[in-house]
Structure 1
Amino acid sequence: MSSSSSSSLKTVLPEPITLDDDPVPGVPTSGSPSKPFTLRLIPALKQVQKYSTIPFSIFAILHVSAVVVAPATAGTGVAEELISAGRELYQVSGFEQGLLVSTLFHVFSGVTLSLLRQYDRYNKYGSRKTKIATTRKKISQFPSGDPNDEIVDDKNEGLGGISSLLGLGSRTSLTYKYLGLSPLSFSGYVLVACLAYHVVKERINPLLVDGDSSMIDLSYVSHAINLDPFKSIAGMSVLVGTASYHILSGWNRYLKLFTLRARKRTYGLIVVLTALAFASCFEIKKIGPAYGATARTFNAYIEAL
């Protein structure tokens, strides 16, 4: 190359290439919507799901205190007093209806969110199964490097499983691996089934038989336990354990408590509440079965549906 040609060359700074006139297929332009309508619903549904938990969480604290904690720690006499006080609150006009509506909103928003996310994944990846990698990171403001400060923000791992408690690291849950459901979602579905059965036996059946549920107290629970101890005690333990996991794990996510320390404390509280439910059943069982007309009424409640 001649010297004159070399001297004519100039240094040019790199500049970005604009694609306004030639858009890349599949990439939305500035004039097209960035998300389909179904995905734009997700933020609103998240808010509905979040705030609809408040009424049921308050009810759960009151009800668990009276039926689970009090019998095991203070006796059935104190538990009956708490149940009577709670009944005054439950019978306030609109309370029960509001609780039912908020629960239905929570279930509806949760199921709809799950369906929308599955629809989005299907649009992106088709029928192929995709493996979502777990993201782990250390909190930089803890220079000690304490493993209890490790954050695992992956809903598909739930509380991390037993392996995380043993220091072996969190694992993708079996419910997600085989069912495509996070532990929080799976526990929600199980809880809906448990609650439906509980409401039928404790609320709907008495309404069908007597038109009200004024006779429902610990003597009714004791009668049911004495009739079928295994079913009643196992059912109560599963209900309390599932509800504890779902509510506490859910609030962990809302409050962004993802550290191993927070998850260990949550597991501890779940175990304590489930153990108290188990112990309360034996304490309530001591009241004994009902007799005469009361027994016939209680049996009708149990067998109505």
Structure 2
Amino acid sequence: MEHSEEQSELYLQEIDPSPLDELDLEAGDGSLISTDGPQRHHELPSRPKPGLSGHSWEYWLSAIQKYSTYPPTLFLGLHFTNTALIPLATRSVPESETFLLLTRPIYQAPGLEPLIVYLPILAHVTSGLVLRYLRQSRRARQFGAETREQRKAFRSTAKPPSVQAILGYAMVPLVGSHILVNRLVPLYVDGGSSGVGLGYVAHGIARSPWLMGIWYAALTGVGVWHFVGGWAWWFGWREVLVTKKAASGRLPGANGGYLGSEKGAELYQRKKRRRWIVNGVSLVGTALWLAGGLGVIGTGGLGMGWEAKGWDAVYSQVPLLGGLLAP
């Protein structure tokens, strides 16, 4: 009896009392997150997990999802400089092309580009999808869903994805088409993407201004908003990036509303400031990229001579859209 009592005490943890507005089941290992003031995490008592580290699959998948964004962020900063800031400074496609050629060995090397772009993006998307499935399964078990029909019915009532997740899903076909047009099709036609540059992009936009312009604007806007929102998410600003439907499902409390409470008014102002910061940075970044991409590169016009013929040959092989991009 003494042994069992001592063993049970091993799993008792003392937790300081504090108001909890939300049980965040998206946090990973069932941690309680207080949304009043700075976030405080209180881990629920749990038995030691197997393995040397003692961490769950959700812990490692969350780490992969987070740290896989670092290399693409570095690439995005370099790409933003080459295709937005430098064209805005030079106001010329040929002059901007010179700077792009200087940095081409950094992010277009055969072994380096997959390492800092393709593999991290694949890891980020895959870990996010698996995490969502695991968390939905965990919530289903917590609410007593045991059969397949019960789990299926529970998934239909799950809270909707966050704004950040929706933007990420939208980026998949946009980034995929970008890789197709600028890497895969040139590799198929010319054996590589050495001829792909700012002039190549300008030539494609000149061939089909509306199609390429809308696609470029969508890729830029969704991409910038997702990256800025992602870093805001890692900084803990999650309440800015949830949908209204998801936000309405939070647990009520004395300070859960914004009216009739000084603390509630303070929370409202803090969330409002954070929303302005995230949206403001995203808007400025998108505006600069569109100004350099469509305002300068997009007005560069058609190429000349053999180079233009080579670009036409590449664009004509783009699946589904080759007829609109070819002369």
Q: Return closer, same or farther for 1:121/1:288 CA change in 2, 3 Å cut-off.
A: same
Query: Contact (CA 8 Å) 1:227, 1:289: kept in 2 or not?
Result: yes
Deviation (angstroms), 1:276: 2.4
Deviation (angstroms), 1:78: 5.0
Alignment-derived partner of residue 85 in structure 1: 102
- Show CA shifts across 1:177-233 (max 9, x none): xxx211111111111110000010011111100111111111111111111111111
Query: Contact (CA 8 Å) 2:97, 2:199: kept in 1 or not?
Result: no
What's the Cα RMSD here?
Answer: 2.9
Amino acid paired to 1:193: P
SS state at 1:282 partner? coil
Deviation (angstroms), 1:72: 3.1
Which deviates more, 255-264 or 80-89? 255-264
Query: Contact (CA 8 Å) 1:225, 1:285: kept in 2 or not?
Result: yes
The aligned length equals 230
1:106 equivalenced with 2:86 (yes/no): no
Distance 2:200 2:305 in 1: 13
Deviation (angstroms), 1:93: 5.8
Quick check: which has more Rg, 1 or 2? 1
Deviation (angstroms), 1:275: 1.9
Distance 2:165 2:230 in 1: 9
Distance 1:92 1:230 in 2: 32
Alignment-derived partner of residue 50 in structure 1: 66
Amino acid paired to 2:286: T
Q: Return closer, same or farther for 1:72/1:232 CA change in 2, 3 Å cut-off.
A: farther
1:278 equivalenced with 2:302 (yes/no): no
Which deviates more, 192-201 or 95-104? 95-104
Alignment-derived partner of residue 263 in structure 1: 275
Taking every aligned residue pair, what percent have the same amino acid on both sides? 29
Distance 2:142 2:67 in 1: 30
Distance 1:108 1:246 in 2: 16
Distance 1:191 1:204 in 2: 18
Q: Return closer, same or farther for 1:112/1:128 CA change in 2, 3 Å cut-off.
A: closer
Amino acid paired to 1:79: S
Distance 1:130 1:300 in 2: 47
Amino acid paired to 1:266: V
Distance 1:75 1:233 in 2: 18
Deviation (angstroms), 1:36: 11
Alignment-derived partner of residue 40 in structure 1: 56
Deviation (angstroms), 1:70: 2.5
Distance 1:214 1:97 in 2: 16
Distance 2:172 2:56 in 1: 27
- Unpaired stretches in structure 1, ≥5 consecutive residues: 1-19, 21-31, 133-175
Q: Return closer, same or farther for 1:131/1:91 CA change in 2, 3 Å cut-off.
A: closer
Alignment-derived partner of residue 209 in structure 1: 189
Alignment-derived partner of residue 266 in structure 2: none
Deviation (angstroms), 1:272: 1.6
Greater relative contact order: 1 or 2 (C-alpha under 8 angstroms, separation 6 or more)? Answer: 2
SS state at 2:192 partner? coil
Alignment-derived partner of residue 308 in structure 2: 295
Query: Contact (CA 8 Å) 1:68, 1:273: kept in 2 or not?
Result: no
Task: Spell out the pairing of 1:190-209 with structure 2 (5 A cutoff).
Answer: 190-209=170-189
Distance 2:108 2:154 in 1: 51
Task: Spell out the pairing of 1:97-246 with structure 2 (5 A cutoff).
Answer: 97-99=114-116, 100-125=118-143, 126=145, 127-128=153-154, 180-246=160-226
SS state at 1:88 partner? helix
Alignment-derived partner of residue 20 in structure 2: none
Query: Contact (CA 8 Å) 1:69, 1:277: kept in 2 or not?
Result: yes
Query: Contact (CA 8 Å) 2:68, 2:121: kept in 1 or not?
Result: yes
Distance 2:122 2:210 in 1: 30
Distance 1:89 1:196 in 2: 21
Distance 2:223 2:313 in 1: 27
Query: Contact (CA 8 Å) 2:68, 2:120: kept in 1 or not?
Result: yes
Query: Contact (CA 8 Å) 1:233, 1:278: kept in 2 or not?
Result: no
* Alignment TM-score, normalising by the size of structure 1: 0.67
Amino acid paired to 2:274: A
